[in-house]
Amino acid sequence: MDTARVGVDVVAGILPGTPMEEYTRRFFITSAQWNEGDGIDQARLLADMNGKAQGWAMYLMLQPDRVNWVKTEWIWM
C-alpha cells in the first residue's frame, strides 16, 4: 500500500471552523511519487500540488455568496 508523503487540505464554509463537505478538497503526493525523482522532480511535484490547492482556495475566496472563510493546511507525513 502506497502511503501519503505530504498533503494539503483546503476547507471552507459559512460558520467559522465548520467546514462544508462540498467545498473540502484534499491534495496528496504519495511516497512512491516522492521517491521516484530527485530534488528537482520533488520541487515540481510540490509546485503542482500547491498550485492546485491554492487555486481551489482562491476560487473559493472569490465566492463570498457561498462561503465566508477558507483555510489551507499542509501536513508532512
Domain with 36, as residue range(s), is: 4-76
Whether the predicted pLDDT of 77 surpasses 90: no
Whether the predicted pLDDT of 1 surpasses 80: no
Average pLDDT over residues 29-51: 94
The pTM for the full model equals 0.88
Cβ atoms of residues 27 and 6 within 8 Å: no
Residue 37 binned pLDDT confidence (cut-offs 50, 70, 90): confident
Enclosing H/E stretch for 76:
strand 69-76
Domain count, the chain: 1
What's the pLDDT at 72? 96
